[in-house]
Amino acid sequence: MAEQVENDSIPDSTQTVAGLRDRIAQYRRAGESIAFVPTMGALHEGHLSLVRLGKQRADRCVASIFVNPKQFAAHEDLGTYPRRETEDMKMLAGAGCDFVFLPQPEEMYPEGFATSVKVEGLSEPLDGQSRPHFFGGVATVVAKLLNQVRADVAIFGEKDYQQLLVIRRLNEDLDIGSEIIGGPIVREEDGLAMSSRNAYLSSVERRIAGQLNKVLRQTALKLTQGGDVLGSIEDGHALLKHAGFGAIDYFEARSGKDLSPLGPGKLTEEELAHARVFIAAMLGRTRLIDNMKVTEA
């Protein structure tokens, strides 16, 4: 990743909400527009693409790095989630990020913190089923972050497509007033969606992991060619199992507009226009997710 770093400088940063607000006020006084990219760190090209998008859309790009304890269940990987702050800061500088918010958990959730944000409907299927605590934690922290930054635009990856829809909804419902932009999924050469969690994969698993996107693409292609949803997904399941994947949390076709379920038969023209396929599957101890608009297969 060193080639992405133009120099050794790192962006200014703060660990406090007050420090963040000061800097935002400074940008506003200068009449500058602001883009915001929230992350959990262990950055890769997917995150940096969002920062670059931010710089295209606004004068300043603010990023945050916060491994949000509220979105991890007790059995999940909060303790082992990769943390690489020094490298992250250099990468952010290389991508043109102006300022970084690096709160500790106590800054985001001081003693007495008692509010949680729940987005009904959109939070319920897919990851809402397999990770019941997840969207509550995400919605709560993102509502806080959006409110703290009050950016003109906030950018989220389509890699976490359900999350993007949940955040659009909460931004509207809570009158936050930022424009929520989705950034395209950045992939490795074999199609694997970049993810901080890919670092958990062994070399054998890493070779298998590329099959997730291949199966996703094949399934999407079948749907565009008039294949029925149930049969196409059953075939995909078998391919994933054969490739070496473990539990498949979900493998479903849903509307990209509102996540309403599609199928079991073949898709109508109207359904095809918005259909997406969503997969979450275990590979060893690592949970991988991916999704794709079927007409882009």
Q: Which residues make up the interface to ligand AMP (CB under 6 A)? A: 39-40, 46-47, 49-50, 156-157, 159-160, 183, 185-186, 193-196
Q: Which of 47, 133, 237, 274 is catalytic?
A: 47
Annotated binding-site members: 40-47, 71, 157-160, 163, 186, 194-197
Q: Is 245 helix (H, G, I), strand (E, B) or coil?
A: coil
Nearer to ligand AMP, 216 or 233 (CB): 216
Q: How far apart are CA 158 and CA 182, in angstroms?
A: 6
CA 125 to chain centre: 16
CB 178 within 8 A of CB 150: yes
E strands present in 99-233: 99-101, 153-157, 179-183
Nearer to ligand AMP, 50 or 292 (CB): 50
Annotated binding-site members for (R)-pantoate: 71, 163
In the complex, the smallest distance separating the C-beta of residue 126 from ligand AMP, rounded to whole angstroms, is 14
Annotated binding-site members for ATP: 40-47, 157-160, 186, 194-197
C-alpha count within 13 angstroms, C-beta hemisphere, residue 29: 6
Count CB-CB contacts under 10 A for residue 59: 14
* 134's tokens: 């997840």
Following CA atoms 258, 183, 193, 247 in sequence, which dihedral angle do they give, to the nearest 10 degrees?
-20
Nearer to ligand AMP, 131 or 222 (CB): 131
In the complex, the smallest distance separating the C-beta of residue 287 from ligand AMP, rounded to whole angstroms, is 12
- The residue whose Cβ lies closest to ligand AMP is 157
In the complex, the smallest distance separating the C-beta of residue 89 from ligand AMP, rounded to whole angstroms, is 15
Cα-based angle 52, 56, 57 (whole degrees, multiple of 5): 115
Nearer to ligand AMP, 35 or 229 (CB): 35
Nearer to ligand AMP, 49 or 219 (CB): 49
Annotated binding-site members for beta-alanine: 71
Q: What is the DSSP letter of 254?
A: E
CA-closest candidate to residue 136, choices 121, 122, 117, 115: 117
Q: What is the DSSP letter of 261?
A: B
Q: Which residue matches tokens 């003693």?
A: 111
In the complex, the smallest distance separating the C-beta of residue 202 from ligand AMP, rounded to whole angstroms, is 20
In the complex, the smallest distance separating the C-beta of residue 263 from ligand AMP, rounded to whole angstroms, is 26
- 133 is known as an active-site residue: no
- Which positions are annotated as active-site residues? 47
